[in-house]
Amino acid sequence: MSATFVGMPAFPVAAREALANSQQRRNLAHATSTIRAKRAAVVAEVDDWEQLRLAGAAIKDNTLLHLDEQLLRLEESLTARGATVHWARDAAEACAVVAEVARGHGVDEVVKVKSMATVEIGLNDALAAEGIAAWETDLAELIVQLGDDLPSHILVPAIHRNRAEIREIFLRHMAEAGRPAPADLTDEPARLAEAARLHLREKFLRAKVAVSGANFAVADSGTLVVVESEGNGRMCLTLPEVLVSVVGIEKVVPTWADLDVFLQLLPRSSTGERMNPYTSTWAGVTPGDGPQEVHVVLLDNGRTRALADEVGRQALRCIRCSACLNVCPVYERTGGHAYGSVYPGPIGAILNPLLKGVGVDAQTDSLPYASSLCGACFEACPVRIDIPSVLVDLRAQVVDAHRPSAKPEALAMRAAAAAFGSGARLGALERLSGLAGRLLGSRGRTAPGGRRLLGRVPGPGAAWTDTRDLPRPPAESFRAWWSRTGGRDE
């Protein structure tokens, strides 16, 4: 994949471009409203949903509190089951481990299970640089890969594409990657899936090395878990001789029994299904069955930085279900690319700054502001991540990282704070604003109800008045009315 998020503009600029793409907006509005309705229906059937959310949050919080012990326990269990454990501080170290395993087996291709961690670390590009092709086998990831596109959703990376576009991508690009799409391919979902199945089957049967992530890693049994819908993941997990799994360190749960909670929360929150079609679990090597060489790369890549953030660490509870994306009114309109990261939407708006740190680049610093703070994400989150509170805390970190600032916004905030310094001062300024409103002129018409409308406001205020009417400030403020009447004149 040569498409890259690197160098993406800050959110407001990227969002403006995305909003102009009316086809994408229709695709997203349709897809997110469908999945929202499905999720709402299956969540409503569960009487103890709130208790499950609380349990999920508590298990994750407890684990994060003892992450060092849990990870060592996981390493011990995995090693005892015949797996080789590698520790990777960052993306480069993790990619190097995977490349070394592939090189060690002399292969020039690997098949991949859908995995956020491997997209996060840019594994496909790193392997390509070593002459190793990494084939995505998840249908949506395949669409993204063949289209030289970028993922725009955690669960459904090609959510921004409709089936006519997918047909086009298959017809044009499948041949470059292996078996071509049939020339008479239509945009019927069954025909598209068939083309992908035939294309991928060759790769499954040929590959010697597979790469996966994991949804969960059970410390006491050394079990890795992959939850999926298509069965393509299971093909990768069972057919090749060698399996390398890149697992974020926050994926650990203490015991097998803990999966009970998460395997209820995850499918209902993500695909809106009571149960997902395929749940694969494996612990190390089973002689004569499945991969006979198993590697697990435990990935930090900023997670310990996030763990050190008192307010933000709850983001590490995330089980990558995408419920927050699907309910987010900002995501629904801008799509995922505007967030400039493999992790888009509300969770991406907190996870990226937490993993990378704020005050370093303008794109990351723009993400905590990519929200109206409506709270729909918190309400939908199966592990109760209070995303709005984390966003607000990260905004303070962004501002603090740039103090002292002479940016117009900082000056405006200081001026506003001064204006709000006392009731008397505010009252004086309100008298001025009434005057200023009259000086700025009006639009020559009134709002329903009779208020006169302000003309175009200069400076940053134009961002408001260019698209929205604004009433003229009233001749008398509330406090002036109160001081004149004591609240008793009407």
Partner 1 sequence: MRVALMVTCINDAMFPDAGKAVVRLLHRLGVDVEFPAAQTCCGQPMVNTGYLDEAVPLLRTFVDAFEGYDAVVAPSGSCAGSVRHQHAAVARRSGDPGLVAAAERISPTVYELSEFLVDVLGVEDVGAFFPHTVTYHPTCHSLRMLGVGDRPTRLLRAVHGLRLLDLPAADQCCGFGGTFAVKNADTSVAMGADKARHVRETGAEVLVAGDSSCLMHIGGLLSRQRSGVRVMHLAEVLAATEAAA
Q: What is the footprint of partner 1 within residues 419-478 (CB under 8 A)? A: 419-424, 426-427, 430, 433, 447-449, 453, 460-461, 463-464, 466-471, 473-474, 476-478
Q: Which CB sits closer to partner 1, 7 or 448?
A: 448
Q: What is the DSSP string of 117-140?
A: HHHHTTHHHHHHHTT-EEEE-SHH
Q: Give CA–CA dist 324/45, Å, rounded.
A: 19
63, 70, 229, 397: residue in contact with partner 1 (rule CB under 8 A): 397
Q: Which CB sits closer to partner 1, 19 or 58?
A: 19
* Least distance CB 174 / partner 1 (angstroms): 35
Q: Which CB sits closer to partner 1, 104 or 478?
A: 478
Beta bridge partner(s), residue 442: 454
Q: What is the DSSP string of 131-177?
A: T-EEEE-SHHHHHHHHTT----SSS-TTTT--HHHHHHHHHHHHHHH
Total binding residues for partner 1 by CB under 8 A? 72
* Least distance CB 106 / partner 1 (angstroms): 50
Candidate segments 56-64, 91-99, 121-129, 365-373, binder of partner 1 by CB under 8 A: 365-373
Give the x-and-dash track for 282-321 against partner 1 (CB under 8 A): ----------------------------------------
Question: By CB under 8 A, is residue 369 in contact with partner 1?
Answer: yes
Determine how many CB atoms are found less than 10 A away from the CB of residue 479. 13
Query: Interaction with partner 1 in 373-392: which residues (CB under 8 A)?
Result: 373-376, 378-379, 389, 392
Question: By CB under 8 A, is residue 393 in contact with partner 1?
Answer: yes
Contact between residue 244 and residue 237 where contact means Cβ atoms under 8 Å apart = no
Q: Which CB sits closer to partner 1, 127 or 399?
A: 399
* Least distance CB 223 / partner 1 (angstroms): 37
Contact between residue 321 and residue 270 where contact means Cβ atoms under 8 Å apart = yes
Determine how many CB atoms are found less than 10 A away from the CB of residue 275. 13
Question: By CB under 8 A, is residue 481 in contact with partner 1?
Answer: yes
* Least distance CB 453 / partner 1 (angstroms): 7
Question: By CB under 8 A, is residue 398 in contact with partner 1?
Answer: yes
Candidate segments 143-151, 182-190, 204-212, 369-377, binder of partner 1 by CB under 8 A: 369-377
Candidate segments 108-116, 129-137, 146-154, 330-338, binder of partner 1 by CB under 8 A: 330-338
C-alpha R_g of the chain: 26
Q: Give CA–CA dist 151/119, Å, rounded.
A: 9
Beta bridge partner(s), residue 109: 133
Instruction: Give the residue from 22, 9, 54 showing the smallest Cα distance to 341.
Output: 9
Contact between residue 350 and residue 390 where contact means Cβ atoms under 8 Å apart = yes
Q: Give CA–CA dist 271/452, Å, rounded.
A: 49
Question: By CB under 8 A, is residue 19 in contact with partner 1?
Answer: yes
CA 95 to chain centre: 21
Q: How many helices (H) and strands (E) does the chain have?
A: 23, 12
CA 396 to chain centre: 21
Query: Interaction with partner 1 in 203-242: which residues (CB under 8 A)?
Result: none
53, 60, 317, 395: residue in contact with partner 1 (rule CB under 8 A): 395
Q: Give CA–CA dist 269/40, Å, rounded.
A: 9
26, 89, 274, 479: residue in contact with partner 1 (rule CB under 8 A): 479
Tokens of 177: 């990657």
34, 202, 286, 482: residue in contact with partner 1 (rule CB under 8 A): 482
296, 330, 381, 387: residue in contact with partner 1 (rule CB under 8 A): 330
* Least distance CB 226 / partner 1 (angstroms): 33
Tokens of 379: 């309400």
Strand 242-248, strand 216-218: pairing: unpaired
SS3 assignment, position 483: helix
* Least distance CB 192 / partner 1 (angstroms): 30
Candidate segments 13-21, 150-158, 209-217, 234-242, binder of partner 1 by CB under 8 A: 13-21
Q: Which CB sits closer to partner 1, 2 or 488?
A: 488
